[in-house]
Amino acid sequence: MSRSQKKIDKINFEIFTLTYGEIVTTLLKDYEDVEEVNNQLDKMGYSMGIRMVDEFLAFTGLNKCSDFRDTADAIANKAFPLFLGFPAGIQNFDEKKKEFSLVLDQNPLIEFVELPPKYKGLFYCNILCGIIRGSLEMLQIDVEAKYKKCVLRGDERSEIFISLKQDPKKGDK
């Protein structure tokens, strides 16, 4: 399937994880409102996402996704392993409503992290939502990506909910 023989350059996850930790703690120092930190993380992720698509297409040799199911698969089983080193799971895929949940069993971003109780409202990995949104937008796929659950907040698992923004003017994607 992939015409690309070369492998993407990899680095140890620790420096990535710790850098992200500093970003989050810096934002928490700058903003009173945890919701604003969530927004900032999403914005950063969006900016990253739009720059990640080319590399993604180059290393996976994928063409445009033919349907939404393909899109979900590309994110969970191709993009996540390529950039973050682990796949995500797809659950509750709804073909009609064009939505699904991404379940993250492993996540380098949250390694070592213990979220203090006062930051309960924080979605620590919200950057991922922005990355997904930004990269799909470059492929003309407009989605909403939102964290529904996060293990750092005490939920039983981490879950991002992704739904296609339905545009009544366009046909089915």
Partner 1 sequence: MKIICVGIIGPQNNPLLIHTDFSGEERKNIEYIVYTALDFCEEKIPAMSGNKKSSLFESYLGLLFPTEDLRVYGYVTNTHHKYVLVLDDSDVKDVDTKKFFVQLHDIFIQAISNPFYNYGEKIESLNFISNLKSLISKS
Partner 2 sequence: MSVSESIWSLLLNEFVNYVVSSVSEPSEPTKEENNEDFINDPEDQKKITKAKLSNAGYQIGQKLADRYTKDRSRFREQVDIIRFLCKDFWTLLFGKNVDNLKTNHRGMWIIRDENFRPLRNLSFPFDGKNLKKFDLNENQIQIVQRFLYFPCGLIRGALSALGIDADVDVHCSLIPACEFTVISKESN
Stretch touching partner 2 by CB under 8 A, among 9-17, 115-123, 136-144, 151-159 = 9-17
Helix (H, G, I), strand (E, B) or coil at 92: strand
If one counts every other C-beta atom within 10 angstroms of the C-beta of residue 93, the result is 15
Q: Which is nearer to partner 2, 111 or 137 (CB)?
A: 111
- Point out which span in 42-50, 66-74, 94-102, 140-148 binds partner 2 (CB under 8 A): 42-50
Report whether 42 contacts 127 (CB < 8 A).
Answer: yes
Planar angle of CA 139, 80, 153, nearest 5 degrees = 110
Beta carbon nearer to partner 2, 65 or 82: 82
**Residue showing tokens 């950057």:** 127
Tokens, residue 73: 């698969």
65 binds, among partner 2, partner 1, none (CB under 5 to 8 A by kind): none
What backbone phi and psi angles, to 5 degrees, belong to 94?
A: -120, 105
Give the residues lining the site for partner 2 (CB under 8 A): 8-16, 18-20, 22-23, 26-27, 30-33, 36, 40, 44, 47-48, 51-52, 55, 82-86, 106, 108, 111, 127
Task: Name the site residues for partner 1 (rule: CB under 8 A).
Answer: 14, 17-18, 20-22, 24-25, 111-116
